[in-house]
Amino acid sequence: MMITPTPIHLLSTKSNNEIYIKRDDLLPFSFGGNKARKAVNFFSEILLKGYNVVVTYGSSSSNHCRVIANMAYKYNIPCYIITPQEDEKITLNIEFTKLFKAQVLKSPIDKVSTTIDNFMTELSKTHKPYFIQGGGHGNLGTQAYVDAYREIKDYEKKNNIYFDYIFHASGTGTTQAGLICGATLQGDLNRKIVGISIARKKEKGFAIIKKSVQDYLSSVGNNNKIAEIIFEDDYIYGGYGKYNENILSEIKNVLVYNGVPLNTTYTGKAFWGMMEYLKKNNIKNKKVLFINTGGSPLFFDDLKELK
C-alpha cells in the first residue's frame, strides 16, 4: 500500500479560530488512521527482510492491533497479539482483529514485557519473528508523521496558508514525535504543535516524546534546534477510554455539522481538549489544524451514546 497525502479541509465550528482538519482517518487501509500510516513502514521492513511472523501488543480497543492483524492477513504472515488480561471490553476492533485470524494471547499487565520476551525467544527457534511495539512506537512510526508533516507543508505552500497551531490526540507519543521531528528538520520553530494527552500524565508523556525525537533525529544525523514539545494533560478526564457529556456533545457537533466521525477514546477527546485549550488561552483569529488520527471503528462503538 502506498501513502498518498490525506485531504485537509475547513470545518464549520463555533470557535473564534479557523479550524481545519487533516483526514488521516481516510487513509486507504483498514479504516485508516495513524496506525495505518505507521503500519505501512513496519510491513515494508518485514517484507524487505523476510520476517515470517509478526508479534505486537495492544488492548482490545486498539486500532493498532486491528490494522496490524489486517495487514498481516493480507501478506499471509501469522500474527500474534499480546493483550493485558484485565481488559475484557468487547469492541469492534477486537472483533476485526479476530476476523483477521490474529492469535490473541493474554498476559497479566505487570508481566507483559517478560511474556513478550519469552514468546519472542520461543518463536525465534523456528521462525524469523518481528516485534512491533504497542501503538507502532519506534523510529519507523515516527517516520510516518515526519512524512505527514511534509504533507502539511506542501498543502500550505499550494494553498498559500499557514497553520499557527497543529493539534492532535497524543497516546504513545509517536505521532507527536514525528510531527516535532518534521518541524525540526524544516526549521519550523514558531508553529505550535500541541499534543492533547488521552491518558498519560505530562511528566511521563513528555519524557517519552523527547526520547523518541532524539532517537529519530540521531538516526538521521540531524543536529537542528528541536521544535518545542507541548504535551497537554489537562483533558485526560479520568484516564484512557474515559469520557464525559462535553466530549460526547463535541463529537456530535462535529458529526452533524461536518459529517466527520470522531471517537471518545482519542480524536473526540482531543478535539474537545483543543476547543477548551483555545478558549482557556484566549486564542483567537488563528488558523488551526486538527489531525483526525482515525479510529473510526471506535466511533461506531460510541454511536449509541450520541443521543
Ligand X SMILES: *Cc1c(COP(=O)(O)O)cnc(C)c1O
Residue 81 contacts residue 105 (beta carbons within 8 Å): yes
- Return the number of the residue (13 or 212) whose C-beta is nearest ligand X: 212
- Binding ligand X by CB under 6 A: which of 251, 294, 297, 302? 294
Is position 171 an interface residue for ligand X (rule: CB under 6 A)? yes
| Per-residue binder mask for ligand X (CB under 6 A), 174-213, x = binder | xxx-------------------------------------
Is position 170 an interface residue for ligand X (rule: CB under 6 A)? yes
Q: What is the DSSP string of 115-153?
A: HHHHHHHHHHTTS-EEEE-GGG-SHHHHHHHHHHHHHHH
Distance, CA of 11 to CA of 1 (rounded, Å):
29
Q: What is the DSSP string of 217-273?
A: HHHTT--SPPPP-EEE-TT-TTSTT---HHHHHHHHHHHHHH-----TTTHHHHHHH
Q: Backbone phi, then psi, for 232, in 5-degree steps?
A: -100, 120
Q: How far apart are CB 24 and ligand X at their closest, in Å? A: 9
Residue 93 contacts residue 38 (beta carbons within 8 Å): no
Is position 146 an interface residue for ligand X (rule: CB under 6 A)? no
Reference 104, options 83, 123, 85; nearest CA is 83
Residues 15-34 within binding reach of ligand X (CB under 6 A):
33-34
Q: How far apart are CB 49 and ligand X at their closest, in Å? A: 24
- Return the number of the residue (27 or 217) whose C-beta is nearest ligand X: 27
**What one-letter code names the amino acid at 151?**
E
| Stretch touching ligand X by CB under 6 A, among 173-181, 210-218, 236-244, 280-288 | 173-181
- The strand pairing partners of 175, in sequence order, are none
Question: For residue 16, what is its C-alpha cell?
Answer: 473564534
Residues 47-76 within binding reach of ligand X (CB under 6 A):
63
- Return the number of the residue (161 or 248) whose C-beta is nearest ligand X: 248
Q: How far apart are CB 199 and ligand X at their closest, in Å? A: 9
Residue 170 contacts residue 176 (beta carbons within 8 Å): yes
- Return the number of the residue (42 or 123) whose C-beta is nearest ligand X: 42
- Binding ligand X by CB under 6 A: which of 35, 37, 66, 269? 35
Reference 175, options 213, 223, 122, 120; nearest CA is 213
Q: How far apart are CB 259 and ligand X at their closest, in Å? A: 18
Q: How far apart are CB 145 and ligand X at their closest, in Å? A: 7
Reference 267, options 4, 25, 62; nearest CA is 25
Q: How far apart are CB 67 and ligand X at their closest, in Å? A: 9
Distance, CA of 3 to CA of 21 (rounded, Å):
18
Residues 77-136 within binding reach of ligand X (CB under 6 A):
135
SS3 label, residue 195: strand
- Return the number of the residue (79 or 169) whose C-beta is nearest ligand X: 169
Q: How far apart are CB 233 and ligand X at their closest, in Å? A: 13
Summarize as ranges the residues that interact with ligand X (CB under 6 A).
Answer: 33-35, 63, 135, 169-176, 266-267, 293-295
